[in-house]
Structure 1
Amino acid sequence: MKIQHREAERHVLTVVVDNEPGILAKITGLFTARGYNIDSLTVADISEDHAISRITVVTGGPPQVIDQIMAQLERLVPVHRVTDLTDEGPHVERELALVKVRGTGENRVEALRIADVFRASVVDTTTESFVFELTGAKDKIDNFVALMRSLGLVEVGRSGVVGMMRGSEGS
């Protein structure tokens, strides 16, 4: 049995939809009904009149599965456009994380030092803990969280991936 590397199959899809009740349920239902996994999901209103939203879905699968997912998404009535950023070319991906770390003494100093290296901001502090805000690629956030585990990691909240094509054209 051949095992495929999961990262090679990863795709970032953007779906531009009407901002209406139930659309997110329709899209996640499509994935669920067909047994596709969603690794990350973000949704936000992107128009001035609040009529359009952008959904970013990170999923995985061979090209024929991704093509099938995109075709099925495009058939949903309130969907305007589906783009596979991974196949389209150079794109930017970012994620936001809030990371709570408990620590005093040397651990506290070390947590601050590492946060500085990763360009994480302190957004809340007490005498016994910090909440750091960090943005960047998934690997950067994963590495920061891993380093904080030994220093008193309490909790992590992540936004999921948001992506967009590079250059002057829209996706």
Structure 2
Amino acid sequence: MKRRIVTATVHNSSGVLNRITGLFTKRQFNIESITVGQTETEGISKMTFVVSVEDDRKLEQLIKQLNKQIDVLKVTDITDQAIVARELALIKVMSNAQTRSEIKGIVEPFRASLIDISKDSVTVQVTGNSEKIEAIIDLLRPYGIKELARTGITAFTRGTQKSVADMKQYYLLQ
């Protein structure tokens, strides 16, 4: 199974999300995450789907079907393009006066922040790629995670397009 990132630009109207996710369901795609939000244009929203795919041809067929939908302006598989992708996580961790400074020490290198502190817990806010989110969760788990909420990935293509292989090669040479 391959993870693919698909974006859809749509008219912001009632029922659009339901119709689009219905097509994913009908084609038996497992949607790992969905993010939806308004764009710079009034009345237009951007959806980002992370899906598990066995057959790229099935995904191509789905994208063609999605592009035929009335409220859909554009659907693109951006997985193999140079992209900017981020996720947000809120993590409520059990803490007391003694462990609070330890937790702050874990949070700082991740450029995360404590956004709420109470007598028996702290809430951490962290943004970044999925690997970064997983890493901080793993480090905070021994303290006891009381609650966790993740947004899922939101993404779009970079201003300058180079293939993923070109970008990896570029960073290896640096």
User: What TM-score comes out, normalization by structure 2 length?
Assistant: 0.86
String of CA shifts for 1:104-160, please: whole Å, max 9, x gaps.
Answer: 244322211111121111111112211111000001101111111101211111111
CA distance in 2, matches of 1:84, 1:116: 34
CA distance in 2, matches of 1:105, 1:20: 48
Identify which of 117, 123, 128 aligns with 1:136: 128
Asked whether the 8 Å contact 1:44–1:54 carries over to 2, the reply is yes
Identify which of 83, 94, 103 aligns with 2:95: 103
Q: Which runs of 5+ in 2 are unaligned?
A: 162-174
CA distance in 2, matches of 1:12, 1:48: 22
How many pairs does the alignment contain?
A: 160
String of CA shifts for 1:64-120, please: whole Å, max 9, x gaps.
Answer: 122122112111111000111113x21111000111011124432221111112111
Alpha-carbon offset, residue 48 of structure 1: 4.4
Asked whether the 8 Å contact 2:36–2:46 carries over to 1, the reply is yes
CA distance in 2, matches of 1:121, 1:66: 38
Identify which of 75, 79, 83 aligns with 1:91: 83
Q: Which runs of 5+ in 1 are unaligned?
A: 1-5
Q: Report whether the alignment pairs 1:156 with 2:153.
A: no
User: What TM-score comes out, normalization by structure 1 length?
Assistant: 0.88
Paired residue for 1:40? Answer: 33
Percent sequence identity over aligned pairs: 38
CA distance in 1, matches of 2:41, 2:50: 26
Is the partner of 1:150 in helix, strand or coil? helix
CA distance in 1, matches of 2:50, 2:160: 23
Asked whether the 8 Å contact 2:27–2:62 carries over to 1, the reply is no
Alpha-carbon offset, residue 47 of structure 1: 3.8
Paired residue for 1:147? Answer: 139
Q: Which runs of 4+ in 1 moved over 3 A?
A: none
